[in-house]
Structures are given as C-alpha cells and as structure tokens.
Copies of this chain bind each other. A is one copy, B any other.
Amino acid sequence: MAERTDNGIKARVVLQQCLHARLQVKPPDAEIDAEWVEINRGMVIYICFFKGATEDIIPKMVTTLLNMKLCETSTGKYTSVLELPGSVLIVPQATLGGKPKGKGMQYHCIIGKDEGLKLYYTFVSLCQSELSTCQKTDTFTEVKHGTYGNRQVLKLDTNGPYTHLMEF
C-alpha cells in the first residue's frame, strides 16, 4: 500500500449526500423496539477523531464542512448544506481511523473513548447551532446524530452519494 504521512491529522471525515437516511440510536431489547433518527435531503457526516485531537479544531471543522459546496441544487449546480438548505446526519465511525496491518485493521491511532465522546458531542452541538442560526427559508432542516460507541445501523437512500474524504 502507498506510504503516507499521517502526521498532524486530527480528524477524518467521509461525506455522502442523501435523499433520506435513517440511523439506529438505541438498539432493541426484550421489551422495547429500537430507536431511530432520520433526515431527509442533506448530508451524512461519518466522523473519526485521532489521538491528539482537541476541542479547538471543532469550530473550523464545522464551518468548513457545513460550507463546502457539495450539495446539488435543482439546477445541477453545487452549494453548501447550509445554503441548500439541507439536513445533517452525523455518524460516529471510529473504523475510519483504521490502518491496515496484514489482513486486519489496527486502531492504535484513534482517540480514547472519553476524549472522543467529548469531541463528538461538541461537534454535534456546534453543527446544531450553526444550522439553526442559518435558517434562510421555510424549508425545515435539522441535525441528527448517532450514539457514540454504539453500532451505527444505517439505511441510506441517495441520488448519488458523491462521496468525499476530508481531513483536519
């Protein structure tokens, strides 16, 4: 595999566009059905933090991600999820920090659970406040997110995922 200098990367994000996405936030148990969140048109953000990531990177991450022109308008041009406007589904995805070793993946570089959880909820909270202050139309948009540490059971419906990788 290609050698790459990963030094300095604090967070890795994969972005996909969706028409509808549905994510389990609480698994079912013997007595209660699973709980789900869902969004309609918008962007799915899969996110992973690496060791060394700190809260000061979150504002720039959120501003960058929510303002990248990755959402297709009805005329075929591209605009940001804030301008579209669309909704956002945030999916914690520690596996994105995996490094191949032999036939398996190693996850030595990802952040510890407590720190990661804190960064994750700071990220979610800032996305929510950014989206809520940027409501420019009557279109209803919202930020939904997965439960950190859970299995992320996801159903995705796209008109082209238009998958992008971004690192911070």
Closest to A68 in B: B103
Contact A8 B12 (CB under 8 A): no
Identical copies in the complex: 2
Residue ID in chain B nearest A10 by CB atoms: B2
Tell whether, in the assembled complex, residue A105 and residue B161 are in contact, meaning their CB atoms are under 8 Å apart.
no
A98 at the interface (CB under 8 A from B): yes
Number of A residues, CB within 8 Å of B: 46
Q: Does A151 contact B (CB under 8 A)?
A: yes
The answer to the question of A157 belonging to the interface, with a C-beta cut-off of 8 Å to chain B, is yes
- Between-chain CB contacts (< 8 Å), 27 pairs: A1-B64, A1-B167, A2-B8, A2-B168, A3-B8, A4-B5, A4-B9, A4-B167, A5-B5, A14-B14, A14-B165, A46-B161, A67-B103, A68-B103, A68-B105, A70-B105, A95-B163, A98-B164, A100-B166, A151-B160, A152-B161, A154-B156, A154-B161, A155-B156, A155-B158, A156-B156, A156-B158
Chain A interface (Cβ within 8 Å of chain B)? 1-6, 8-10, 12, 14, 46, 64, 67-70, 78, 80, 91, 93, 95-96, 98, 100, 103-105, 151-168
